[in-house]
Structure 1
């Protein structure tokens, strides 16, 4: 029963609680006992309740709803002291637990997803593709299919997370990826491989879903640090995956490697299902909010647009360089037998720098402002790209890539934090889903543009062009910061 209007009279008692008589419009009475201390009842178990209602005609929940403001009093503790509701303490506990599970889950799923890189062409060859050109072509299609599909569905999963809960999206993603990876180990044709890689992109998205859950469940003054730590786990998974992918197939075979990956992701599914607790679920939208678009719900759109553009820019800039690094290293080295090894070290150096700096930059962003850290990171990376175009030895490139990784380590967490601070909770998942899609667009377009520029204008042009893009991004974010309320 919903109480529409009521009057209440309070009778203070010496023992420290109130008896409240509630009279509502239908002239029916309900009696509620509101406890303000518990010293006399410290021996009674489970005495930590906001309201104990004695209701003769209706159930307890109705009376508690009728009690209204009286139920907002301090919560007594069994030891006789006053505390606020244990909700704050529980939330403090669970957001950290959620962060740990999301970090480990993202780390393991990304290992499982990226370990196929070293042996994907070999698997394509096993599936009946013969010519070298066709093997390369099908390998690229199979690898890129996941990102293409994910770019389209990420906003959908974000909006569904806003409506039904972000934990449910992680459960869906981990179970879907576990099934898909296991089935990839059973395919008999390259078409089946591509189809399942598309399915991985559609059903997956655990790491991006983890970012959304952590961003919305973590206290706002801790989001930079929490997302930085999660980002470090994501990058560590991307770094460790290819290493394991090179070691496992000779030991257990390619198909068994996929089955092992599916099993690892299934463990993540179990941990997500039973250990993650979503304390603050998305609020139910009102009738007006249901008809309102996501974009119309954002009060200050400038910072959000800037973060979408910055996400595209960051992934575009990084991925435009990755495809040409091996060829660039080849030009710097006399001993061509070590080109692949040194190229791997160059790529790993940037990832290692990002892992080391992401949580520290997140903490700095929590103190001085996320947009300021983004501007500084883009400006420093632009400066570091200039000497990369003119190095004369591979070790110089390794050092500069490591420094660039340090500069960019906190960028993605800061992008997520700025969006989180500038959109209402009820549409946060949808907007963060668009952010993920924007990053996938950069991840797909970057290698194409980098290969084109490198092939027609030389390797140095790629570094210098990326430098100009990073500098433009820093200037753009600085202009947005001056004209908006965000930090």
Structure 2
């Protein structure tokens, strides 16, 4: 018979899979959808797309610490229910917008309720055996990756048959199913922390043995999200340019958006198990070096198939970086503050996911699309400096 944490892993894998599908259905064509809500120049469309895409993450960065503190006090399952139901409602309403500012407000509301995947990570990090954290969190990562992989393809197909608005309705239904899944199937053994016993933000850092490592992981998450998200708000426009405006642009944009998930889905569990044996720091370093090389090569893209090939290779670095960060945070965080540490990491992720699209859309609007990848490579250099200065510790290298 499976232990509770093992059953939760199965349930949360499907939950994060469905959340990944729900969130990624709309990502590839969001700039095209914005284009139907008004008459914009290329630069205006790029900026509007960047703002709308990024607004979710601005709000999420602000509210995540508040939700993390509540998670440590009330439990992670409650946060799963809050996130999935709130996302279901806000995404469903996007089907009825008539102006770009309305979509912007709903994307901000979405950010206020997001966090299903991060809370799933926190729940598993606090319940799974520490010696298995790398493999467990890597496996859980493949759930969201698989959903993110399939979602853009489904979204591209649905747009062709039903139009943009119906995709939001489908996404809302999916997120409501995630809510039901968490409500009835996730089990959590949680001892509430009395409000008077809750540690302050300053006290949280006093119970952590190596705070520099935690801060280093936050920075790694921030920069990785910036590089991953920078091309997203203008992705469909870039694909349109590479295809000279001919062919099934939304479907191809979906393939490009999904490409990194293919490799991540296949090798993340292997790299997670390898990290548990050889050290998560080594896997993290490999991922950072590899991403630097791939981004530089991607900047030379001249056709959509070459772009897809390079995005597939980015999946290798994602499979190394993202689970390694989660595993290191799990090992370095006392259980009493796990929720808040993961929520702080969520804030770092959100800041990166906010600033990345703004940077990418600005570069694309004023220079050229391919220079977005040059900017990503420069950011990875800063991540490598952080890697050498903030992660060196025996327990992470052996």
For the aligned pair, the TM-score class normalised by the smaller chain equals 0.7 to 0.9
Instruction: Give the direction of change, closer, same or farther, for the CA distance of 1:458–1:287 in structure 2 (3 Å limit).
Output: closer
Contact 1:282 1:426 in 2 (8 A): no
Contact 1:148 1:440 in 2 (8 A): yes
Distance 2:239 2:351 in 1: 27
TM superposition shift of 1:407: 2.5
Distance 1:447 1:176 in 2: 24
Distance 1:317 1:122 in 2: 22
Partner of 1:42: none
Partner of 1:404: 314
Deviations 1:384-435 (A, max 9, x none): 3333334566544433332231132132121111111112111111111111
Q: Please give the residue correspondences for 1:446-485 in structure 2 after superposition, counting only pairs within 5 Å.
A: 446-453=356-363, 461-483=371-393, 485=395
Partner of 1:425: 335
Distance 2:190 2:273 in 1: 23
Contact 1:389 1:463 in 2 (8 A): yes
Distance 1:475 1:236 in 2: 31
Partner of 1:215: 125
Distance 2:75 2:81 in 1: 11
Contact 2:25 2:151 in 1 (8 A): yes
TM superposition shift of 1:160: 0.8
Distance 2:283 2:290 in 1: 10
TM superposition shift of 1:332: 6.6
Contact 1:311 1:438 in 2 (8 A): yes
Instruction: Give the direction of change, closer, same or farther, for the CA distance of 1:430–1:459 in structure 2 (3 Å limit).
Output: same
Indicate whether 1:298 and 2:298 are aligned: no
Distance 1:423 1:446 in 2: 27
TM score, norm. by length of structure 1: 0.70
Distance 2:301 2:163 in 1: 40
Partner of 2:299: 389
Indicate whether 1:227 and 2:140 are aligned: no
TM superposition shift of 1:362: 1.2
Partner of 1:373: 283
Where does the alignment leave 5 or more consecutive residues of structure 1 unmatched?
A: 1-88
Q: Please give the residue correspondences for 1:114-129 in structure 2 after superposition, counting only pairs within 5 Å.
A: 114-117=24-27, 120=30, 129=37
TM score, norm. by length of structure 2: 0.84
TM superposition shift of 1:117: 3.9
Where does the alignment leave 5 or more consecutive residues of structure 2 unmatched?
A: none
Distance 2:162 2:123 in 1: 36
Distance 1:215 1:379 in 2: 27
Which of 56, 63, 66 is the equivalent residue of 1:153?
A: 63
TM superposition shift of 1:458: 5.4
TM superposition shift of 1:143: 3.6
Indicate whether 1:243 and 2:166 are aligned: no
Which of 327, 337, 347 is the equivalent residue of 2:246?
A: 337
Contact 2:68 2:343 in 1 (8 A): yes
Distance 2:161 2:170 in 1: 12
Instruction: Give the direction of change, closer, same or farther, for the CA distance of 1:183–1:240 in structure 2 (3 Å limit).
Output: same
Query: Number of residues paired by the alignment?
Result: 394
Instruction: Give the direction of change, closer, same or farther, for the CA distance of 1:475–1:413 in structure 2 (3 Å limit).
Output: same
Contact 1:350 1:402 in 2 (8 A): yes
Which of 255, 260, 269 is the equivalent residue of 1:350?
A: 260
Indicate whether 1:359 and 2:248 are aligned: no
Higher mean Cα deviation, 370-379 or 233-242?
233-242
| Structure index of larger Rg | 1
Instruction: Give the direction of change, closer, same or farther, for the CA distance of 1:368–1:348 in structure 2 (3 Å limit).
Output: same
Contact 2:268 2:320 in 1 (8 A): yes
Indicate whether 1:106 and 2:8 are aligned: no
Distance 1:343 1:250 in 2: 13
